[in-house]
Structure 1
Amino acid sequence: MAPPKPKGATQGNDSKILFFSILLAFQYGAQPLIAKRFISRDVIVTSSVLTCEIAKVIFALFIMAKDGSLRRVYKEWTLIGALTASGLPAAIYALQNSLLQISYRNLDSLTFSMLNQTKIFFTAFFTYVLLRQKQSIQQIGALFLLIAAAVLLSVGEGSSKGSPGSNADQILFYGIVPVLVASVLSGLASSLCQWASQVKKHSSYLMTIEMSIVGSLCLLASTLKSPDGEAMRLRGFFYGWTPLTLVPVISNALGGILVGLVTSYAGGVRKGFVIVSALLVTALLQFIFEGKPPSLYCLAALPLVVSSISVYQKYPYRVKKKES
């Protein structure tokens, strides 16, 4: 039997989890308002995404250089290890994003929001398959509460978009199937990241660098014949940019670093709780800075989020002791 962790180490880890989770919730919650305020409609989406990935790499390299881990990681780094730990999740996330874009165009917002929240369950499923991380009955109930809250918040944000009037086959094969496959892929990728950081002890900062590079290559390949790629060739990479455009780009990059840290320390399922909580932060900030009161959906979701987090933390899975 492995020796128990020192009490101080456990408390230190819990403090890190709480700190990174709070930062991520506020960053994720504030990002829509920051982006709306500082990114012009003329900015080419691909240029902002690629710049964000470059910023992630720079931040991660700076942190690793400062904490002294860069030299050690450089000596131990291998291409096979990088592709195993980061390449596969990055490619999966790229495919997931493409499927979500297809689905969103062929489903009404209510259906899309409900189906998209199933990724929380798939994350829990794959963490069990890959890491044997079991959930207690209470935690499974908490996941149901969280999904209900996420659906309410998502519907409250965009229920005005109606169904595109597609036929049944198109809705099934280009709407429902893609979003369900994307949810499976999201759960798998998140669990693979957790496996790499917790089992293979792969640095979360190194994973951020590797996934940013692989994701950028996938994005560049997809833009070869896309409208964004054509726009960059005709107008230039930084068309529509101002110095203030860097504000949301840098904020988003820091959020990417935080996602890696939360996944590494707390796991993919708890990251799901943080992301849903961030939707409440968005509603709060909209009320403070834009005078937009929270919707009834948001008010109904608040107690569900609080209850789900409380139950999930209070009733972890415990291994039953065998009677001698």
Structure 2
Amino acid sequence: MAGEPVSLVFKLYCLVVMTLVAAAYTVALRYTRTVSSDLYYSTTAVCLTEIIKLFLSLGMLARESGGLSRCRSSLVEHIFRSPKELLKLSVPSVVYAVQNNMAFLALSNLDAAVYQVTYQLKIPCTALCTVLMLNRSLGRLQWFSVFMLCAGVTLVQWKPAELTKVQVEQNPIVGFTAVAVAVLCSGFAGVYFEKVLKSSDTSLWVRNIQMYLSGIVVTLVGVYMTDGPQVMDRGFFYGYTPSVCFVIFLASVGGLYTSVVVKYTDNIMKGFSAAAAIVLSTIASVTLFGLQITVTFALGALLVCVSIYLYGLPKQDTSVLTRPDSKTAKEKLISV
């Protein structure tokens, strides 16, 4: 609830969990794409993630509504009687489906630490979409941090860190291209979803349900078009292991948990979380995949971490002060 007091302990708890989920998801996904001989179909994993998110959102809506009867009434009103709203939320559903599949492709060709650093390009992409779609402005410090982040990512990609424990064939160009597509999708879909949220007082969980319903349809079509014959022959859950199930769990919980973190923490804490996730991913990559850190990688990662912190510093207070009739800015909801 807005204005609800939140303890520092709870904020730190959110920060720690968000960091661990982000780092564990990246490393675990990388592991499942490089060690298994019976490789699972990424399209089925993305589809299953959407289904789990739907059921989790239904549970949260029931809790928020105060009972199953009110939850059912809300679903009838906003789902079955609002086909236009479902169509509106199908836009980010398609974009997020592409983004999630690109994450699997990227981590099949890039180390987890390299991916984690490069994926931070979502920050300038989101900033650009925010300026264009929400008519916001960024301060000089934020623009400076954006350019610093781009420079850091360039250094990381200039001479990629070497791997010694990965035997699968990799194509860094394909990996970086996949990250670029995922970054564009993340920026656009996150800002689009925020704009839809602010267009009405509809519950966040209702909006999530609308989006995930569309997402299930979209991802099922993706399964049929991409891996249809193989799935029919080998089964939907072909290649699934406990590690794959863990990745799907992290993807399902992480997306919803981000909403809670964004609501109860600030940009500086989220910046620390992103930087810590990069450090943890790097340590895990050194241990699991034999990552040999180069000077350019270390310098680039450092620039990215500093830029994330600078970008999260307070930046829009002046616009609020110059518009006394404006409402308090709502939390940004950017999907991870």
State TM-score, norm by structure 1: 0.69
Matches within 5 A, 1:106-185: 119-153=122-156, 156=160, 161=171, 184-185=184-185
Partner in structure 2 of residue 192 of structure 1: 192
Residue pair 1:142, 1:309 contacting (<8 A) in 2 also: yes
| Superposed displacement of residue 95, structure 1 | 4.9
Partners of 1:141 and 1:224 in 2: CA distance: 44
Partners of 2:14 and 2:313 in 1: CA distance: 20
| Superposed displacement of residue 309, structure 1 | 3.4
Partners of 1:76 and 1:16 in 2: CA distance: 34
| Superposed displacement of residue 89, structure 1 | 1.1
Partner in structure 2 of residue 53 of structure 1: 50
Partners of 1:127 and 1:315 in 2: CA distance: 16
Per-residue CA deviation, residues 72-100 of structure 1 (Å, 9 max, x unaligned), is 5425413322332x221112333566789
Partner in structure 1 of residue 278 of structure 2: 279
Residue pair 2:46, 2:100 contacting (<8 A) in 1 also: no
Partners of 1:203 and 1:296 in 2: CA distance: 47
Letter of the aligned partner of 1:187 in structure 2? G
Residue pair 2:19, 2:277 contacting (<8 A) in 1 also: yes
Q: 5+ residue gaps in structure 2? A: 109-114, 164-169, 323-336
| Superposed displacement of residue 316, structure 1 | 1.3
Partners of 2:242 and 2:116 in 1: CA distance: 34
Letter of the aligned partner of 1:194 in structure 2? E
Letter of the aligned partner of 1:82 in structure 2? L
Partner in structure 1 of residue 299 of structure 2: 300
Partner in structure 2 of residue 26 of structure 1: 20
Residue pair 1:38, 1:245 contacting (<8 A) in 2 also: yes
Partners of 2:171 and 2:224 in 1: CA distance: 30
| Superposed displacement of residue 138, structure 1 | 0.7
| CA 1:181–1:57: 2 relative to 1, 3 Å | closer
| Superposed displacement of residue 181, structure 1 | 7.2
**Percent identity (aligned):** 23
| CA 1:31–1:288: 2 relative to 1, 3 Å | same
| Superposed displacement of residue 214, structure 1 | 1.8
Q: After superposing the two structures, state which structure 1 stretch, 216-225 or 147-156, moved more.
A: 147-156
Partner in structure 1 of residue 231 of structure 2: 232
Partners of 2:105 and 2:156 in 1: CA distance: 22
Letter of the aligned partner of 1:189 in structure 2? A
Q: 5+ residue gaps in structure 1? A: 106-111, 165-174
Residue pair 1:120, 1:272 contacting (<8 A) in 2 also: no
Per-residue CA deviation, residues 25-80 of structure 1 (Å, 9 max, x unaligned), is 32121113323556744222222222222221222222232343673542541332
Partner in structure 2 of residue 223 of structure 1: 223
Letter of the aligned partner of 2:230 in structure 1? A
Letter of the aligned partner of 1:209 in structure 2? I
Partners of 2:117 and 2:293 in 1: CA distance: 20
Partner in structure 1 of residue 83 of structure 2: 79
- The residue matched to 2:136 in structure 1 has which SS? coil
Per-residue CA deviation, residues 98-148 of structure 1 (Å, 9 max, x unaligned), is 78999999xxxxxx9999765433321222233333211111111222333
Partner in structure 2 of residue 169 of structure 1: none
Per-residue CA deviation, residues 150-199 of structure 1 (Å, 9 max, x unaligned), is 444566468984669xxxxxxxxxx98x9877655442211011222344
| CA 1:260–1:315: 2 relative to 1, 3 Å | closer
Partners of 2:9 and 2:213 in 1: CA distance: 30
| CA 1:33–1:313: 2 relative to 1, 3 Å | closer
Partner in structure 1 of residue 252 of structure 2: 253
Residue pair 2:94, 2:215 contacting (<8 A) in 1 also: yes
| CA 1:88–1:272: 2 relative to 1, 3 Å | farther
- The residue matched to 1:223 in structure 2 has which SS? helix
| Superposed displacement of residue 232, structure 1 | 0.9
Letter of the aligned partner of 1:134 in structure 2? S
Letter of the aligned partner of 1:130 in structure 2? M
Number of residue-to-residue matches in the alignment: 297
State TM-score, norm by structure 2: 0.67
Residue pair 1:223, 1:229 contacting (<8 A) in 2 also: yes
Query: CA-atom RMSD, angstroms?
Result: 4.5
